[in-house]
Amino acid sequence: MNPEQREQLISSAKLGMKNAYAVVSGFPVGAAVLTSAGKVFQGCATESVISGMGVCAERSAIDHAVACGEYLFDAVAVISELEEPIAPCGMCLQYIGEFSQVADHDIEILMIGATDEIRESSIRQMLPVIFGPLDLGLDVTRYRR
Cα dihedral: 54, 60, 56, 100 (round 10): 140
- Give the catalytic positions in this structure: 58
- This prediction's pTM: 0.94
Give dist(CA 125, CA 46) in Å, integer: 27
pLDDT digits (tens, 9 = 90+) for 14-55: 999 999 999 999 999 999 999 999 999 999 999 998 888 899
